[in-house]
Chain A
Amino acid sequence: MKLTIDSPILKANSDSAIETRKLLSEKKIFALNLLSSPGAGKTTILERTLIILRDKIKIAVIEGDLQTSRDAERIEKIGIPAIQINTDGGCHLNASMIQCALKKLDISELEVLFIENVGNLVCPAAYDLGEHKKVTVLSIPEGDDKPVKYPTIFIRSQVVIINKIDLLPFTDFNLKQVKEDLYRLNPNLTIFELSCKTGEGLNQWTDWLCLQRL
């Protein structure tokens, strides 16, 4: 006998994510899911962003790593509340982890929530965490072939940050080609180019963030 199920395999995660996004939207908290491979510069971008914005916007951060609380500690040093999730081997955050983390945060006057995902260009793309936008960071030393090699994460993102642009003179990274590749995958992408080292491009990114508040 045939039993029709027609159920998404990740339904449990999707349901939790939808619940979270509804809560965040009701409380006017704009949430971003920050993705990249390990070492692309997510935490450093967050540090620079928070230093610029901390007196203008109420922000909190949820950090995700396999182990350690190093990244949450870096954020807390800047005076921003941060909750660390350790996945103990899990290669991505999921929606129920975010729901647990949110219970540990005072979200009463929060305006922006950053979720820094586990460094991984594959699995996190498939897991809705309840965010409003996915931001994928691609750094110059990683090479200019990552969008075509790992298309899904760039298709699923709304924003790409091309980071470490101060290193362009020292590499063969073809910035024009990368942007063509990205727009081919996702014509509606917003792309920022920045350097946390020199500060170039940071203000365009933080100005955009200010405009995203709900």
Chain B
Amino acid sequence: MHELSIMQSIFEIINTQASLHNFKKINKIKLKIGEIAGVLPDSLLFSFEILSKGTITEGANLEIEEIALTGRCEECKSEFRIEDYCYQCPRCKSFKITELTGSELLIDSLEID
């Protein structure tokens, strides 16, 4: 996907937080990116290196936690890793699956001075 514009959205959120909490230096940015969010962590890191120059995020460590695709079977209630994009319960074979995790595109936290 277009990781540069995703990174710009991240910076907008960070700038809003910087105004709210009055900080001027960020040491770490933690993101949570789901398996099917359509965003490549490596491309995000690359975009961060480009866009962070000259901003309060320059030099910060960008940590990306990748979140696996999981679901819950609404028939037997088991929770499982969805493998190969197969939305079927491995236990009871039902197709009534609710996605639990895997689509996240989140700013989790910042570490600031």
**A interface, CB within 8 angstroms of B:** 1-12, 91, 122-123, 125-126, 148, 151-152, 155, 183-188
- Among B51-109, those with CB < 8 Å from A are 85-88, 95-97, 104-109
Q: How far is the CA of A125 from the CA of B103 in the complex (A)?
A: 11
Instruction: Give the B interface residue count (CB, 8 A).
Output: 31
Give the most central of A5, A11, A91: most B CB within 10 Å.
A5
**B interface, CB within 8 angstroms of A:** 1-2, 6, 9-10, 12-13, 17, 21, 23, 31, 36-38, 85-88, 95-97, 104-113
A-B contacts counted at CB < 8 A amount to: 79
Main secondary structure, interface of B, reads mixed
Q: How far is the CA of A148 from the CA of B36 in the complex (A)?
A: 13
A5-B87 contact, Cβ under 8 Å, with A123-B2, A126-B1? no
Are B106 and A7 touching (Cβ within 8 A)?
yes
Are A7 and B13 touching (Cβ within 8 A)?
yes
A91-B13 contact, Cβ under 8 Å, with A6-B109, A123-B38? no
Q: How far is the CA of A146 from the CA of B78 in the complex (A)?
A: 30
A3-B109 contact, Cβ under 8 Å, with A9-B6, A184-B86, A187-B97? yes
Are B109 and A5 touching (Cβ within 8 A)?
yes
Are B36 and A1 touching (Cβ within 8 A)?
no
Are B85 and A5 touching (Cβ within 8 A)?
no
